[in-house]
Amino acid sequence: MSESERLLRALGCIQDYLARHGRSPSVRALAGCMGFSSPRSAAVLIDDLVAAGYLRKRQDGRIQLLRESGTGTARTVEVPIVGSAPCGTPLSAEENIEGVVRVDSRLAKRPHRYFIVRAQGTSMNRAGINDGDLVLVRSTRDARDGDRVVALVDGEVTIKSLRRGRDVVALEPRSSNPTHRPIFTATELEIQGVVVASLS
């Protein structure tokens, strides 16, 4: 394999990882994708891709894709990040688009619309949503009993599991921390979407 072919293959690995996980791969993950026994070989490839203008290294040590090669195997769609949603005490919803994430089209399926929120808190950690995770949400006003939802309650947004009763709706935590309590409401509950997956 020539050096240019090796770089393109590495770039394809990075694109596919970003599409599936919503974040760049670690050096060790890239080494695994490339079949290297040593992460050092993957680190050298990353340096070469930075020098070629395909990547840049961020201050937090992660890599950022600047341009694509067209070699990735996953079909992706761009989904906007629209702010943060707590998994503990709700706080005011602000739909400020922070950026976009390329998501595998097998997760973000047409013709539905999607958005991404950044989870805050630990009240949904037993449902696979941890503090700081990027959460992919299918935009809808309807949700079934038991769905993980992004809901607006009294002008504030939260991620919880939906439970419908005869006269009341409960937004229940799924947490290892017993201090988290359900939110009960009879009115002013607005479903923003249903959680599809945690990308982080």
Task: Give the mean pLDDT of 101-126.
Answer: 87
**Is residue 83 pLDDT above 80, yes or no?**
no
Domain 3-65 shares a fold with domain 76-198? no
d(Cα 96, Cα 109) in Å, to the nearest integer?
23
pLDDT tens digits, 19-46:
677 677 889 989 998 889 889 999 999 9
Cα dihedral 170→185→85→122 (10° resolution):
-40
Which class is domain 3-65? mainly alpha
Which position among 160, 161, 175, 198 bears the catalytic label?
160
Contact 152, 162 (CB under 8 A): no
Write phi, then psi, for 99 (nearest 5 degrees): 160, -165
Which position among 123, 161, 175, 198 bears the catalytic label?
123
In this predicted structure, what is the pLDDT of residue 92? 46
pLDDT top residue among 67 and 103: 103
Encode 97-134 in three state secondary structure. Answer: CCEEEEEECCCCCCCCCEEEEEEECCCCHHHCCCCCCE
Q: What is the pTM of this model?
A: 0.63
pLDDT tens digits, 57-68:
877 677 877 766
123 is an active site residue: yes
CATH classification of 76-198, choosing from 3.40.50.1000, 3.40.190.290, 1.25.40.10, 2.10.109.10?
A: 2.10.109.10
d(Cα 180, Cα 182) in Å, to the nearest integer?
7
Domain boundaries of the chain, sorted by first residue: 3-65, 76-198
d(Cα 173, Cα 87) in Å, to the nearest integer?
8
